[in-house]
Amino acid sequence: MRLAFKAATTLALAGIITCAALLPAQAGSDVTESYTSAASYNLGGGVVGEYADGSGRTYDDAGTIVVDVDGAFYPEHSAFAGRVAGETCFGQAASTTPFASLCAYETFVPRPTTSDPSGGYYFSTLPGVSEPSNAANGNSCTDGSSFCHETHGNATAGIIAGAPFSRWETPHLRAFSSGVAPGAKLYMAKIGGGTATTAGWPHASVVDALNWVERALVQNPYIGTKAAAVNLSVSGAPLPEGQDCPSEGTRIDEAAGRLKELGVAVVMAAGNNSLNGLGTWNCGKNIIRVGATQITDPTEPTSYTNISASIPLFAPVGDGDFAHQNALLAPYKSAGPYYVRGTSFAAPQVAGAFAVLLEKFGAGPTVDELTDLLVRTGQPLTGPRSDTALGAVVTNLAAALHDTP
């Protein structure tokens, strides 16, 4: 994507908002848009979300799969036309969590443990089950007149693989957006739960979703090597640098480790606590954590992002200031776009990047090798707080495609 202004001081970014200023119309002529070529700080795609390697061949993640685990989705949004490979929903019993199941058409799947021999979870994989909805068991979660969880998932999924789109912000300013990997197929995995106005993600549903990806997708001979990444735009509670990863983090990490061995990257948000540290859910050694930088200065970390020696990759998200072209545009509910900010929207850019790398390099390179490639070809962080990042970089997918794992 390209960010262009009449003054031609520009920056190209992939998977995020881009703005183009119109040139003044000549009398009797059509108004035309002016774009400049890509600058060096970017994920490498144009408005259509394509990336070229050194030979000139382009990649857009065609034929690969990314699983997005989030609160809920609107798969009917035009950004996802032809891109949704499947939908699932995971829910927990009301007796085990304040965020009870919101899965429609659910069935109970046994998951016995020593402490709870009759334990299990609710599951569904029918079309429409990823949408915000009342559950089969009568639970509902609404906030005012709207269902809970109905915006976050669409934004993350759109940043991974949404179709290119644009809208006019003013008569002279047009915003463009495209997923990092618009050729990819998406599995939308809903884990949001709650009752009344209580909304949240049960930790157990996160683990159940990761285990399902391993069993039902990666070990499926028709899907296996097409699966590139799982995106989890969540971090857990703040965990300052040096503290041990708690049990909730290690459970997620164990599931992520099994996927990593099968060639699937598990990508999570770094967290929005302005912390030198991680989160209680993303603290495992098998997790790829992603922080957020500014759009107007893509090597500068945002004020809200967590930073750590264990957060190797960053992606441009901005601080939500559209007036100064420092905001990210993503699909909104069932139609149209809106602006988002937070590391939740950095992680899906890197999840999409793994899918593009799978298309380019195939299933041979390991997750660690591809991560090292992205770190080696990224741009080092600069500005405030960068001295605590210890080698972290802004992801540059275009540069990675010109290199090898």
The answer to whether residue 5 is domain-embedded is no
Is pLDDT above 90 for 92? yes
Buried b (16+ CB within 10 A) or exposed e, 131-149: bbbebbbebebbeeeebbb
Please tell me what DSSP assigns to residue 99: S
- What CATH code is carried by the domain that includes residue 119? 3.40.50.200
The beta strands (E) that lie in 137-274 are given as 142-143, 146-147, 165-170, 173-177, 185-190, 227-232, 238-240, 265-269
Q: What integer is the mean pLDDT of 224-239?
A: 95
The pLDDT, as a whole number, for residue 12 is 28
Closest CA to 65 of 335, 343, 265: 265
Among the residue ranges 20-24, 129-133, 309-313, the one predicted with the least confidence is: 20-24
Closest CA to 353 of 224, 267, 262, 261: 267
The answer to whether residue 83 is domain-embedded is yes
The pLDDT, as a whole number, for residue 21 is 27
The DSSP line for 146-168 is EETTTTHHHHHHHHHHPPPEEEE
The pLDDT, as a whole number, for residue 238 is 97
The answer to whether residue 22 is domain-embedded is no
More confident residue, 55 or 347: 347
Number of structural domains found in the chain: 1
The pLDDT, as a whole number, for residue 300 is 95
Is pLDDT above 80 for 161? yes
Structure tokens that stand for 201 in this block: 């993600």
The range of the structural domain enclosing residue 242 comes to: 61-166+178-393
Kindly indicate the confidence band of residue 198, based on its pLDDT and cuts at 50, 70 and 90: confident
- CA 32/CA 34 separation, integer angstroms: 7
The pLDDT, as a whole number, for residue 387 is 87
The pLDDT, as a whole number, for residue 173 is 74
More confident residue, 388 or 232: 232
Kindly indicate the confidence band of residue 61, based on its pLDDT and cuts at 50, 70 and 90: low
- CA 359/CA 372 separation, integer angstroms: 17
Please tell me what DSSP assigns to residue 323: G
The answer to whether residue 97 is domain-embedded is yes
Which residues lie closer than 8 Å to 143 by C-beta, 6 or more apart?
Answer: 197, 199
pLDDT, tens digit (0-9, with 9 covering 90-100), for 265-313: 999 999 999 999 999 999 999 999 999 999 889 999 999 999 999 999 9
Q: From the centroid of its chain, how far is CA 328?
A: 13
Is pLDDT above 70 for 74? yes
The answer to whether residue 113 is domain-embedded is yes
The answer to whether residue 328 is domain-embedded is yes
More confident residue, 219 or 185: 185
Phi–psi pair at 45, nearest 5 degrees: -95, 160
Q: How far apart are the first and last CA of the chain?
A: 25
Structure tokens that stand for 269 in this block: 């948000």
The answer to whether residue 127 is domain-embedded is yes
Q: What integer is the mean pLDDT of 67-95?
A: 95
The pLDDT, as a whole number, for residue 195 is 87
The answer to whether residue 249 is domain-embedded is yes
Q: What integer is the mean pLDDT of 33-55?
A: 51
Q: What integer is the mean pLDDT of 98-112?
A: 92
Q: Mean pLDDT in the chain?
A: 84
The pLDDT, as a whole number, for residue 356 is 93
